[in-house]
Structure 1
C-alpha cells in the first residue's frame, strides 16, 4: 500500500507511530492524540522544517502504528519503545537527560555539597534527586556556594586561607574554626530545605535579593533571583519523585467516547492494570478483587531510580491534568477489617452509578 493511501486510512484516535527507512529499520518513534493528523503532517510541505527534521522526513519510507485508548497510554508506550528500540532520530532530536543527584557527602568530619551521577543505595550520605537537568543542578550548587561563600578551593584544613578566600568566594572554612562551624550549620539548613522541612534558606535569599536591588546592585540581585528560581525548579522535581514513591497504589479514571470509562491502577512508574467499562456497568466487586490482588501492604519503599523517572513524570503530569480523576489507595487498609474502605474509594472516584 502506498504511503498516501496508508495515511488516508489512519484513524484520528490516540496512538504511537513508528517511522521506518528503506531497509525497514525504525528510525523514529512518536505519539499523538490524533494519529492521522500528526503522521500526515510529516508528508506536507513546511517552510518551518529544517535540519535534522528535514533529514528524518527524507528517510521515511514506511511507518507502523499502534492504537491506544488514551493519549496517556500513547505517552507511556512511546517512552517504553524509545528506550527499547533507541531509534536513531529520537537520539538525535531529543535531548538526552543526564540524570544527576545533589549529594551532601560526609568527609573528614564535615559535609560537602556535590553533584553525583549515580545513587549509591549503601551510602550513608544525603542524596536528593534524580534531577533531569545537569545544568540546573550545577547552577543551584554554584549559586548556593556563591551566596553563602562556601566555595572553598582547599581540600584540607590549613593554617592559611585558600585562593577563593582572597577573592571573596570562601568565608574561611579552610582555616577558621568559627567559619567551619557556620559552614556546617548552612549545610544542615540546606539538607532541611531539600527535605522540604525548612524554607529558611529561600527566605534569606529573597531578603538579600531585595536588599541588593534597593542598593542598586542589580547584577547581584539577578544572580540571587536566578538561584532561587533554579532551587524551586528542582524542589518541584523532588515533589514528583516523592509523590510517585510515597503513593503506593493509585487509581485513575478517564472518560472515553460512547459512554465508557477507562480505569487504571498505577504503582510507582507503571500501569499495572487497565480496563474499559461501560459507564453504567462498572462491577465494583471485580475492581475490588483486582485491587486486593495487587495490594502489597507494609512493603519496603525504595528510591525512584533514573530508569523509572521518565514514566514517573508522564504519570504525575497526567494525574494533575484535566484528563482524569484519581485517588490514592492505601495498601495497608485494603486487606483490613474495614470492608467498606474500597467501596467508599470507588464511589468517590467514579462519577457514575456502580454495581454492587
Structure 2
C-alpha cells in the first residue's frame, strides 16, 4: 500500500480549471478516472488525512502510485473525455453497470451489402440497428415471423446465403415467400435494402403509415376484382396489427422517453429502464452495480446515463478529434439520434444536470430534457419500474451471495496453501497444444478476482530454437513464458518512458488545454500474482528457469498435474495436495481447463488452415493470391475438388492451364476409388 503523500502534486502545479484526472497503480495501470469543474479543488480532496476518507476512497488512493490530469475547455468536454477514458482503460475503482442478464435484441445489419434480420446479444456493432431489448428470444422470433409476411427481409446466415447464390436455388423461406431472395436475384440489392429500411422504420414506431398504405392497396385490389391479392393484403394488415399489439400502450400522448428507476444500499444498486417509443414500451433492460466508489444517487444516475447513451450512440468526439477535423459519419449521427429520446425520466436529477443535458442534446442533434416525473402516468410508470428494480436487486443478492463467498474463499485458500503474501487476484495459466510436434500453440488465460478476463487471453505460435517448433512441452513452456515476461519488461520500460515524456511535456507547457495523445493499453505490462502451468515437475522447472533467466522474482509459480490433480512448486520434491472439496483446487482446475480449451481451439484452427492450404501448395503457378481467390469462391476444398476445370477457370485471376493443374492436383489428392 502506497502513502498518498509520496505522489501528491505540489498545490501550485494543479490548475484551477475543468479537466479529467487519472490515478495509476505501481504498474502504470489506470485504476480510477474522474472529472472536475476545478482540478485543484477535486484533487486536493484526495490528499487530506487518509483516515477521514471514505473506506473505498482510502483503498483507491493507497493502491495508486501516481496521478495525472488533462485540462479541457468546457465541462461538457470533460464529461465526454471521462466517459471515453473509462471505456478505454476499464478502471477497477470506477462504477461499472453490468447487465443483470444477457438481453436479446432484434438486430438489422444495415452495414452489410444485403442486410439481415437476426437475434443478437452482447456488445453492439457499428452499422447495425437494434430494437429491444426483449425479455426472451422467442418473443423476437414471433415478431419477426409476423413481419416477414410484409417485409420479406433476409434472415439466413452468410453461409446459407452464399450457397444459395452459388447454386441458384433459394432456401425454404424464399420458396414460402418469407424472403425476397436477393441471393438468386428475385429482387435487386437496392430493392432489398429498401425493404430492410421499411422494416426498421416500422420497428421504430412508424406503424400507422404502413397500415394505411396496405389498407389503400387492399381497397384498390378489391375494386379491381383482384380478390386473392386483396385477401393477402388483409392478412398482412392483420399480421402488422398483431405485431403492434404485443407492445402495450403506457403513455397515451405518444411520448418518446426512457424511464429509469434505481434501488440500492451502500454496497450495491439495481437499475431498470423502460424504453418507451410512441407511447409503447419497446424494450426493458436492467443493470446491477457494485459501488466501488462513494457516490450519491445523483452521481450514480450521471454515470448511468453516460454508460447507457455512450454505448448505445457512441461517445462525442474529443477536443483532439475536433482539432484534427475528424467528422462524425452521417450514419453514426443517425444512430445517435435514434438511441437518445427527447425525454429522459430519472429518479433523481444528475449531479451536473446542465452538462448532462448538453451532452445528450449534442448526441441526439436536438434538445433533450432530463426530468424527475412528479405526477400522472409517467410517475405511475416510474413507481412500477422501481418495484422491478427492488425485486431485481433481491434476486441478484440471492444469486450473488454464494458466488462472492466462494470466490473469496478460493483465493484465500490458495494464498494460504501456496504461502503467498497476498491473495492471487490475477492468475495466469499456460498450456501447450500440438499434434506430433506440428502446429504447436501456447495459450495464456487470465483470471482476475476469480473470474475469467477473456479480453486478456493470448495465444503464442511456438517457434523453437530453429524456427521449426519446440522439441517437447518443456521447451515450449520455456519459450512461451520467456516471450510473455520479456514483453512485460519491455512494456514496463515503455510505460516508464511514456510517463517521463508526459511529465516533461506538462512541465514544458503547463497551459496546454488539449488532451494528451491516446495511449495504447499495454496489457503485458500487468504482472500476475500467480502463474500456473499445465503439467508436473518438468513443466514447472522449465517455467521457473524462464523466469529466473529474465530476473523475474516477484511472481509466484506452480503447476497442476492432470493425473492426480497435484500442485507442484518449483524445486520441491513432493507435490502439494489440496483437499478434494477445496474451493482453491476447484478454481485451479477451472483455470487449467480454460487454458487447455483455449489452446486446443487455437491449435485446431491453425491445423485446419495448414491442412487446407497444404493441398494447394505444390500446384505450379498457384500463388497465395490465387489460393485465396479459389477458397473465397468455393468456400471449401471439398467444393473445389467437385468443380470442373471450366468452373475453376471462371474464378477471377485463373487461367485454363492453372485451372487444369489445380483440378489434376485435387483429383490426385482425393480419396482412392476402389471397386
Q: Structures share a fold, TM > 0.5? A: no
Greater length-normalized contact order (CA 8 Å, ≥ 6 residues apart): 1
Larger Rg: 2
